[in-house]
Amino acid sequence: MTEAAPPVPIEAYDQLATMVALADAGGRCLLANAALEGAVGLSRRALQRGSVLDWLVDPTQLRETLQMVAADQVTTSRFDAQVKRLGAGDGEVPVHVIVCQTDWPGCVLVEMIEIEQQIRLDREERSHGLVEANKELVRNLAHEIKNPLGGIRGAAQLLAMEVSSRELTEYTRVIIHEADRLQTLVDRLLAPHRRAQVVADINIHEVCERVRSLILAEFPRGLVVMRDYDTSIPEFRGDREQLIQAVLNVVHNATQALGERIAAGDARIVLRTRVVRQVTFGRQRFRLALELHVEDNGPGVPEAIRDRIFHPLVSGRDGGSGLGLTLAQTFVQQHRGTIDCDSVAGRTVFRILIPLP
Ligand SMILES: Nc1ncnc2c1ncn2[C@@H]1O[C@H](COP(=O)(O)OP(=O)(O)OP(=O)(O)O)[C@@H](O)[C@H]1O
Ligand SMILES: [Mg+2]
């Protein structure tokens, strides 16, 4: 029998983001690429001394598949598995495994792709860290701005009393006006940390109804706010005002995006609640959670800011301060929940998930 040998220079495999190994029918590793080294956490040398079967939590399926592929019974086969992290750091990486024949006798290609969810989770975690860092930066900045701002405003007021020329009082008026505007911004930036949580039993539909009536009072015509409630959702402990504010900010954005449709008379927002079971968010798994969708039929979140809308001071509209969603996210997170967004033209959905007892 011919001795199987790596048919392609190893560098070619190292360019790939997916994990690739060549193995013989018995699982002996002939070649492992850089992505695989990274995932398993062992050096290429160590990997190539061992067996591909050693890397999976349950190698049964891989063992059978390798034999079948090598014996020409099938040309390719796919299944899901868990790769063990053998080096530093432990745990498992869920992967999609593709085993296929090569042109070299006795040599089988094993390709492993990290499962989407895992990648998404990592991305979420990274983005979460970034958002938290941003929020802290902005918060510290707000603190720094707050004190001198009072001084500037006071001095401008004193000055206004001293000067009599209309032209000059116009200047002091501008200073006072702008100082007030900045003060409002700073207050909003510091808002979530000003008041301690007031915890009570919350019925999510009470929260939705409150928001709905506030919005309908503001837009009595041209907008329908539909409800699609799952009334079996149990109460949970939380801060009612915070949750109302969070949902209101999201719904408010929807109404702003819906401007044209409101004018045309066919704007629609849907408030939808559901119970979801066995959900994982962050790294935590919850037995039960409530899901609140705020859906609108507006033009969608501008592409350019789509992945940053929860960051502070990111706005896609004139006159927006870019704080509404940051605050909404902070409030939801204070309920151990998450908020995300899925948007295409004509259908934007903000999804709030909050764990239930
Ligand atoms: N439902 C939506 N449809 C389209 N775009 C949206 C929607 N919700 C949010 N956005 C976009 O996300 C941006 C950020 O929203 P956010 O509420 O954080 O800030 P803002 O509305 O600009 O200002 P603020 O809420 O502080 O007054 C918005 O400016 C808008 O461009
Ligand atoms: Mg807003």
Q: pLDDT of the chain along its 357 residues, tens only? A: 445 555 566 677 887 778 899 999 999 999 999 888 888 888 999 999 999 999 999 999 999 999 999 888 888 899 999 998 887 667 888 888 999 998 888 889 999 988 876 677 777 778 778 878 888 888 888 889 988 999 999 999 999 999 988 888 999 999 999 999 999 888 888 877 777 788 999 999 999 999 999 999 999 999 999 999 999 999 999 999 999 999 999 999 999 999 999 999 999 999 999 999 877 776 677 889 999 999 999 999 999 999 899 988 899 999 898 999 999 999 999 999 999 999 999 999 999 999 999
- Residue with CA nearest ligand 1 atom 13: 315
Per-residue b/e over 72-103, b at no fewer than 16 CB within 10 Å?
A: eeeeebeeebebbbbeeeeeebebebbbeeee
Question: Which residues form the pocket of ligand 1, taking CB atoms under 6 Å from any ligand atom?
Answer: 249, 253-254, 257, 296, 298, 300-302, 309, 314-317, 320-326, 348
Q: State the Cα torsion 292-297-299-304 to the nearest 10°.
A: 20
Residue 38's pLDDT is: 83
Residue 189's pLDDT is: 84
Residue indicated by tokens 């929860």: 310
> Residue 56 CA to chain centroid, in angstroms?
29
Round the CA-based radius of gyration of the chain to a whole number and report it. Answer: 29
Residue 249's pLDDT is: 97
- Residue with CA nearest ligand 1 atom 9: 253
Spacing, Cα 317 to ligand 2 middle (Å): 9
Question: Which ligand is the nearest neighbour of the Cα of 131?
Answer: 1
Q: Which atom of ligand 1 is nearest to the CA of 294?
A: 1
Residue 1's pLDDT is: 42
CB 330 within 8 A of CB 310: no
Locate all alpha helices (DSSP H) within the chain, ordered by sequence.
10-14, 34-36, 44-49, 60-70, 116-162, 166-190, 204-218, 240-257, 259-264, 324-333
Residue 41's pLDDT is: 87
Quickly count helices (H) and strands (E) in the chain.
10, 12
Spacing, Cα 295 to ligand 2 middle (Å): 15
The CB-based long-range contact list for 262-266 (8 Å cut-off, 24+ gap) reads: 262/219, 262/221, 262/222, 262/223, 263/222, 264/222, 265/221, 265/222, 266/222, 266/297
- Residue with CA nearest ligand 1 atom 8: 253
Residue indicated by tokens 């009334």: 231
- pTM of the entire predicted model: 0.68
DSSP 7-37: -S-HHHHHT-SSEEEEE-TT-BEEEE-HHHI
DSSP state of 341: E
- Residue with CA nearest ligand 1 atom 14: 315
- Residue with CA nearest ligand 1 atom 5: 301
DSSP state of 61: H
Q: What is the rounded distance in angstroms from the CA atom of residue 89 to the CA atom of residue 53?
A: 20
Spacing, Cα 49 to ligand 1 middle (Å): 55
The pick from 315, 340, 344 for probing ligand 1's pocket by mutation, whose C-beta has the most ligand atoms within 8 angstroms, reads 315
